[in-house]
Structure 1
């Protein structure tokens, strides 16, 4: 029957007693207060279902998009070509009045430093937390449109593309918004400091947080999807935050290792973050 193809994935959730989440980054060093546990979960194959994935219902969708970029590891091409391609695509997919790019990150599942990339993101997380997303949206709008008319709705998104050949050894798992409780998630707050604190759980008076992401404890109701064998003309488009809570407004996600894929090379991907606005 459609929708019955699944794989088993080991996902890293917050440990139950890990409730104070802070990351301190100092020159040459960092510390994170979170503790994590691995849980085996079922991930459903999004290609093997009749379900039509809607970004305002599920929180994500798979879209076709051919890029003019010939080398995603070339920063000049990414800046000159891909930046505007992504903002145009987001505007088309969402119907927003304006879209602001927040830049991209390359990720590679093996030897990431060889191409200026980061490792795969292997924790269950969302890049913006409800505690900080409205402020980040307002700051991005003020920077891009200092004389703008303001906005009534803001959406933070990711456009995620694999540019290494399929299949992927570390695909991306997406949590169906309909299975995520409003109370799920804890803010993981980033601080830039001159030196690491002696007690990272101690007072943070006087420190200004840089950003807030969310990390998640295990919820057995979470329903996970993935799209195996992605090619370079496909993108996963999903939400980090939507100020309109009548729609799907966030998607926890995580990379996971898929030994069944039979991949012969490391996954190499680019994720581009944006804010979209409606006047």
Structure 2
């Protein structure tokens, strides 16, 4: 049986890629994320910190969902073209539910919104005016800062809604885990791959909430941070300030059947219950290509 020292030695031997990870700066800020068609902005002040991101691909079997907060699995999809929105809506969410249930051992899984992210130039798309834009089923740039998509209030409510809608006659659940099921569908290696942070290396001390506002047009000036009634109860992510102890990983050159499953929030805090993540520019590998990926949000329930 592998010991903790063995695990540390395995991780310390991993190839390291230099990276700049964007964190919320020290200080007091109104922290909000505004999202529109093809573009998103954050309030607050952020800074890029030099970090290393370890390459977990050669030791992919080492990572455990409840230990690190993430794992790399395999799943063959029937989707031939992820740009085909109708096909993704019709087929992919049900595929993901089955895959997540298999990977986690959950009693049941409910998959919800999905999003494509690409490092391609989205300038023209961002200039489109789309009334009543929703932050799902669209195209966005790679994530720009270290974050977890749900804070605790948002995760708990997401689980309650998902279970009531998908399993109205079920007996209830003892545990829920809000997750992202992430796949790159562009040829590797990707220029802006996703990095995930070992959830054991983060704490509440450096975390704060980041309220989500989905808008047709961005506010300007003081309106970006003007008080909003009930904001503490609105949908929000968690964002993080830099700490040297954060340990980042990625999986280089992911193939079509590789899927990264990581936690937004686990109601069981006796295990690793969240996984900060962000994109980074990978300068360590030659011949990187434009990234295109799809992420699916889901909730796994344990009855």
Normalising by structure 2, we get a TM-score of 0.83
What is the CA-CA distance between 1:194 and the residue it aligns to? 9.4
Which residue among 169, 187, 192 is the counterpart of 2:209?
187
**1:17-28 matches, cutoff 5 A:** 17-23=27-33
1:163-190 per-position Cα deviation (integer Å, ceiling 9, x unaligned): 1111110111110111112433111112
1:65 corresponding residue in structure 2: 75
Q: For 1:168 and 1:194, how far apart are their aligned partners in 2? A: 30
Query: Structure 2 vs 1, CA of residues 146 and 165 (structure 1 numbering), >3 Å: closer, same or farther?
Result: same
1:226 corresponding residue in structure 2: 250
Query: Structure 2 vs 1, CA of residues 103 and 200 (structure 1 numbering), >3 Å: closer, same or farther?
Result: closer
1:232-261 per-position Cα deviation (integer Å, ceiling 9, x unaligned): 110111110000111111000010001232
Query: Structure 2 vs 1, CA of residues 139 and 246 (structure 1 numbering), >3 Å: closer, same or farther?
Result: same
- Greater shift after overlay, 125-134 or 257-266? 257-266
1:251 corresponding residue in structure 2: 275
Aligned length: 279
Q: For 2:80 and 2:86, how far apart are their aligned partners in 1? A: 11
**Structure 1 unaligned blocks of 5 or more:** none
2:156 corresponding residue in structure 1: 134
Q: For 1:251 and 1:171, how far apart are their aligned partners in 2? A: 16
Q: Does 1:272 align with 2:301?
A: no
1:176 corresponding residue in structure 2: 198
What is the CA-CA distance between 1:102 and the residue it aligns to? 1.3
Query: Structure 2 vs 1, CA of residues 45 and 98 (structure 1 numbering), >3 Å: closer, same or farther?
Result: same
Q: For 2:206 and 2:286, how far apart are their aligned partners in 1? A: 34
8 A Cα contact 1:11 1:123, kept in partner: yes
1:206-240 per-position Cα deviation (integer Å, ceiling 9, x unaligned): 56854110111001110111111111110111110
8 A Cα contact 1:5 1:48, kept in partner: no
2:96 corresponding residue in structure 1: 86
Structure with the higher fraction of residues in helix conformation: 2
Q: For 1:253 and 1:85, how far apart are their aligned partners in 2? A: 23
SS at match of 1:131: helix
1:150 corresponding residue in structure 2: 172
Q: Does 1:167 align with 2:194?
A: no
What RMSD in Å do the two structures reach over aligned CA positions?
A: 2.8
8 A Cα contact 2:264 2:275, kept in partner: yes
